[in-house]
Amino acid sequence: MSEMPQQVALNRIIEGDSFKLIQQVPDKSVNLLITDPPYFLNTATKKDVSAGINGETWDDARILLETDPALKAEYADESTTTDRRLTILSILKQKFFEHFLEVIEPKMADDSAMIVFNRYANVQIMRNWLKKSPKIKDKWIVDSTFEWAKTNPQPTLDPKYWSEYALIATNSFATTQRTIANLAENYVDNTTIDNTFVTTRPKNKSYVYGDNGAKHATPKPFDLWSYLIRRFSNPEDLLLDPFSGSGTTAITATDLGRNFYAFELDEKQFKASSKRLDEFKKNRGKSIFLGLHS
Ligand SMILES: C[S@@+](CC[C@H](N)C(=O)[O-])C[C@H]1O[C@@H](n2cnc3c(N)ncnc32)[C@H](O)[C@@H]1O
């Protein structure tokens, strides 16, 4: 007798590799995908010393070499030029984002929306795939790219990364109409300008959010997340964030009465963000610390 596939738990953060866990999410169940996968900003081809943002390895494009033994061997070969190494990483990044959408797409409900933050180039890869993949051609309406403009970008970062971008796509006329109605309802003066949202990046000192010293390099601001969730979903809808990080989606979804699946690979992040979610639930209704803006 074949065993029924195990289904992941709702409304708590689950530790593990999202590409495996997503298989346990029922098909056509998710109303809103809201997430930011690794941006793979770090390619470190010249010095091969530092890895990832603030020493964290998840944003290092070189981890993608593990997914392709032939390209990994070519990358490691001493005669391979820096240009070719960068091309290899570009090929692997493209494969990552296309595979990600391929795995996610069947999980999306018939009347749903996707919001995926990333650097502009990777958003373009996802836009192209959604528009051109023969399997789902004409299914998704890809909105103009959404921009989060930071009032306090990291000054040491290349200015081309001072804003972050998101793919926004909907798969039915009803969803599109609803998001337009919700946009009017949730308009925040001076903050939302069409598809640009201006707000402050959570500050450095508040990266530490766990009593085990856990910190996250790239927590998303709650006001941005709250605006997007209100605009693109309804109360009691099911949200999915396969790259949960510090738990921004889990906490905002709880706050706004949405259900969620949230997955996080890193054990330390998983533990600290689960505790953060528990504390949020315990203190709901009180005047509490919610944001990372303090
Ligand atoms: C850009 S961060 C997400 C930040 C999050 N939006 C927040 O507000 O805190 C990406 C996260 O994805 C996690 N991650 C990377 N690969 C993963 C995978 N295969 N499965 C689950 N989580 C993964 C990383 O550990 C990292 O915490």
CATH number at residue 242: 3.40.50.150
Ligand 1 within 6 A of 42 CB?
Answer: no
At residue 156, the pLDDT reads 76
202 in any annotated domain: yes
Question: Does residue 51 form part of some domain?
Answer: no
- What distance in angstroms lies between residue 52's CA and the mean position of ligand 1's atoms? 12
Q: How many whole angstroms from 121 Cα to the centroid of ligand 1?
A: 19
Q: Residue 268 belongs to what H/E stretch? A: helix 267-282
The answer to whether residue 120 is domain-embedded is yes
pLDDT value, residue 158:
78
Look up the domain containing 33 and give its range. 13-44+101-282
The Å distance, Cα 22 to ligand 1 centre, comes to 14
pLDDT, position 5: 59
In the numeric block, the tokens 């030029």 are attached to: 81
- Smallest Cα–Cα separation from 100: which of 14, 19, 17, 16? 19
Structurally, how many domains does the chain consist of?
Answer: 1
Structural domain contains residue 83: no
Ligand 1 centroid from CA 174, angstroms: 31
* Residue ranges of the chain whose pLDDT lies below 50: 1-2, 46-52, 190, 205-206, 287-294
- pTM comes to 0.89
State the Cα–Cα distance between residues 95 and 111, nearest whole angstrom: 27
Residue from 201, 264, 270, 292 to probe ligand 1 pocket by mutation (most atoms less than 8 Å from CB): 264
Say if 50 falls within a structural domain: no
Per-residue confidence (pLDDT) for residue 184, from 0 to 100: 64
64, part of any domain:
no
Can you give the pLDDT at residue 134? 85
